[in-house]
Amino acid sequence: MAPLPLKTKSLIALLALGTIAVQGVAAACMPPGAEPGEFLEQSEPRPALEPIAENWEDVTADELLSPEVRDRIMQTAAAEVDRPVADLRIAAAETATWDGCMGIYEPDQLCTAIAIAGLRLVITDGDQSWVYHARQDGQGMVQNPTAISRNGLIPDFIPPVMSEPEADPEPYIFRSVESGSLMGTQFETVLLPDGRLLRKENDKVVSERQLSAGQVAAFEQVLADQRFPNLNRLRYITDAAFADYPTVQLSAMYYETTYIDLAIDDAPPALQTVVQAWSDLTAEAE
């Protein structure tokens, strides 16, 4: 196998760490001579965003934010996006633990490994939506530029897993899972560290293809360039998803995002680029 570029190795290491709380920690280098799969197997996953309550889905922004914190957040966001405060609302909010980069991943950026108690917020004017990271008191707000959506597609958060952690999953580079259709069939495509591309229907392997090292490296570079970790646990769906229209979950080990293809044109450009690159890659394996 041809050696992978440094940025590709860095992305693999980053994906193995797996937490939005430290997703700004870029360029975690692989041991010299290690293969991607070997490194993933040796890496220990870190916890994801801290849940804000036992009944996570019932906690609203009003319950989470004091009036003072809410006002500070709205004033800051309004100034940055150049909208009147009255035109904005907080569509979703949750607690988070940030690193020195406030959880914003940039390729090759080094971040201080500290734990900052904070918030993650979706702010919208009803048409365009922005995702912000802030400290718990609403100070130090930074926008997650990867996550902006438009035309009324307002993201929310994928609920964190509240049960006891399961055994580490088998390492993989990328996976898509389409589910929720009236047929009840789940379609999964997964790219393994050795370059194998598996297609499954209801967990049964129906085809297997071998990709070249160059194809794998090029796709990994897309994930890094499009800052895929910044989309972690964001869900871009519409009401059609609740009417049994299928949704697609994309994941790179411990990072995941969900979208509905009916609204992909209004999803963040980075997500659109990843979806197109994945579609092209899987088509090449046909």
Domains with residue ranges and CATH for the chain: 56-157 (no CATH), 161-284 (3.30.1560)
In this predicted structure, what is the pLDDT of residue 55?
A: 38
- What is the rounded distance in angstroms from the CA atom of residue 191 to the CA atom of residue 218? 13
In this predicted structure, what is the pLDDT of residue 254?
A: 85
Sheet hosting strand 187-191, strand order edge to edge: 156-157, 234-236, 255-259, 247-252, 174-179, 187-191, 196-201, 204-210
Kindly report the number of other CB atoms within 10 A of residue 225's CB atom: 15
Tokens of 48: 């994801």
In this predicted structure, what is the pLDDT of residue 59?
A: 65
Three-state DSSP state, 79: helix
Kindly report the number of other CB atoms within 10 A of residue 45's CB atom: 15
In this predicted structure, what is the pLDDT of residue 115?
A: 92
In this predicted structure, what is the pLDDT of residue 159?
A: 85
User: How deeply is 89 buried, as exposed, middle or buried, from its count of CB atoms within 10 A (0-12, 13-18, 19+)?
Assistant: middle
In this predicted structure, what is the pLDDT of residue 241?
A: 66
Q: pTM of the predicted model, to two decimals?
A: 0.79
User: How deeply is 145 buried, as exposed, middle or buried, from its count of CB atoms within 10 A (0-12, 13-18, 19+)?
Assistant: middle
Which one-letter DSSP state was computed for residue 173?
S
Residue 178 pairs with which residues in a beta bridge?
187, 248
Q: Cα dihedral sign for 111, 114, 116, 122? A: positive
In this predicted structure, what is the pLDDT of residue 46?
A: 36
> Would you give per-residue pLDDT tens digits along the chain (286 residues)?
343 443 443 444 344 333 333 333 333 333 333 333 332 333 333 333 333 333 344 467 888 999 999 999 999 999 999 999 999 999 999 999 999 999 999 988 888 888 999 999 999 999 999 999 999 999 999 999 999 999 999 999 998 766 555 566 689 999 999 987 667 789 999 999 999 999 999 889 999 999 999 999 999 999 999 999 999 999 999 987 666 788 999 999 889 999 999 999 999 999 999 999 999 999 987 7
- What is the rounded distance in angstroms from the CA atom of residue 222 to the CA atom of residue 230? 13
Distances from the Cα of 273 to the Cαs of 135, 207, 286, in angstroms?
Answer: 30, 25, 20
